[in-house]
Homo-oligomer: A and B are copies of this chain.
Amino acid sequence: MQLIRSARDMQAWSLAARRAGLRIGLVPTMGYLHEGHLSLVQQVRARADRCVLSIFVNPIQFLPGEDLAKYPRDLPRDERLCEGAGVDVVFHPEANALYPPDFSTTVEETALSVGLCGASRPGHFRGVTTIVAKLFNCVLPDVAVFGQKDAQQASVIRRMARDLDFPVEIIVAPIVREADGLAMSSRNRFLTGSLRQDALCLRRALDEVERAYAAGVRGADALQEAMEAVIRRVPSAAIDYIAIVDEHTLAPVAVVSGPVLVALAVKVGATRLIDNTVLGS
């Protein structure tokens, strides 16, 4: 396994691999890897000859006051996990190389990124689409895999790739959960003491909405209230949003008829967690 630090070296590696007729797959991450990331590696390995995993805590997708500085980092541990999972290249660029002082270009998606996390984190998805466009141009992948845990991010990136004609197939892989149902996230490490248990309220709210839907409830208000009731029982938890939206347009629905994405963001203690499920698919 190789560690590559510069965009130029990464491009040179990828161009050589492409000339050799090899298919390249990319798993973009912010590091501090967990089983969810490693499942993305397996998705790539099933679809490409070479797997590149990028590790970059992208400053421009964090808002002022968010957890950029304390976002967990552990490169040696990540490298061991990548080696074990069959990653061929870890691409780990420096922030000041990717963003020189006179950096002045952004990529922005303006339809799918306005609601949900986009509403509570204005500018976040502009940071995401900009770095993903950059990573696509550094790694030149044939296929890139994103996690369904960040469902809105996956939709926004799929749209961006289509709109800008990136020759990259976008795959979205299922959420990987801890044994007790908590969606895997690098931020789970902040859930100390009783907060770890409290964090299960996201999964319980999704269980509740799935139960209500199975029982025939179709009104979005009623479904949402059922979820809110679950979260409200946990004093350390504060709802950022609960959204019931069309799976493709991410526009809110009043009544569930086709497939809908049910997504929520909840602050548990100081840690913002997200989770989602799809109903009616």
Where the two chains meet, the residues of A that have a C-beta atom closer than 8 Å to any C-beta of B are: 7, 11, 15, 18-19, 21, 98, 102-112, 129-130, 133-134, 137-138, 140, 159-160, 163-167
Closest Cβ of chain B: how far from A198's Cβ, in Å? 37
- Of A21, A137, A166, the most chain B CB neighbours within 10 A belong to A137
Lowest 5 CB-CB distances: which A-B pairs, in order? A105-B163, A104-B111, A137-B165, A105-B109, A134-B165
Chosen A-B contacts, 29 in total, with CB atoms closer than 8 Å, are: A7-B165, A11-B167, A19-B21, A98-B165, A102-B111, A103-B163, A104-B112, A105-B107, A105-B108, A105-B109, A105-B110, A105-B129, A105-B159, A105-B163, A105-B164, A106-B107, A106-B108, A106-B110, A107-B107, A107-B108, A107-B164, A130-B164, A133-B133, A133-B164, A134-B165, A137-B164, A137-B165, A137-B166, A140-B167
With contacts A104-B111, A107-B107, A140-B167 known, what are 6 further pairs, Cβ within 8 A? A7-B165, A11-B167, A15-B167, A19-B19, A105-B159, A134-B164
Residues of B near A108 (CB, < 8 A) are 105-108
CA distance A137 to B166 in the complex (A): 5
Residues of B near A134 (CB, < 8 A) are 163-165
CA distance A167 to B105 in the complex (A): 16
Residues of B near A19 (CB, < 8 A) are 18-19, 21
Residues of B near A163 (CB, < 8 A) are 103-105, 134
Residues of B near A166 (CB, < 8 A) are 137
Closest Cβ of chain B: how far from A171's Cβ, in Å? 18
Considering the complex, give the chain B residue whose CB is closest to the CB of A15: B167
Residues of B near A133 (CB, < 8 A) are 107, 133, 164
Considering the complex, give the chain B residue whose CB is closest to the CB of A249: B102
CA distance A133 to B166 in the complex (A): 9
Judging by beta carbons under 8 Å apart, are B165 and A138 in contact? yes
CA distance A214 to B104 in the complex (A): 35
Residues of B near A137 (CB, < 8 A) are 164-167
Residues of B near A112 (CB, < 8 A) are 104
Closest Cβ of chain B: how far from A156's Cβ, in Å? 9
Residues of B near A164 (CB, < 8 A) are 105, 107, 130, 133-134, 137
Closest Cβ of chain B: how far from A22's Cβ, in Å? 10
Judging by beta carbons under 8 Å apart, are B7 and A105 in contact? no
Closest Cβ of chain B: how far from A245's Cβ, in Å? 15
Considering the complex, give the chain B residue whose CB is closest to the CB of A10: B165
Residues of B near A104 (CB, < 8 A) are 109-112, 159, 163
Q: A18-B18, A19-B19, A21-B19 are in contact. Are A105 and B165 (CB under 8 A)?
A: no
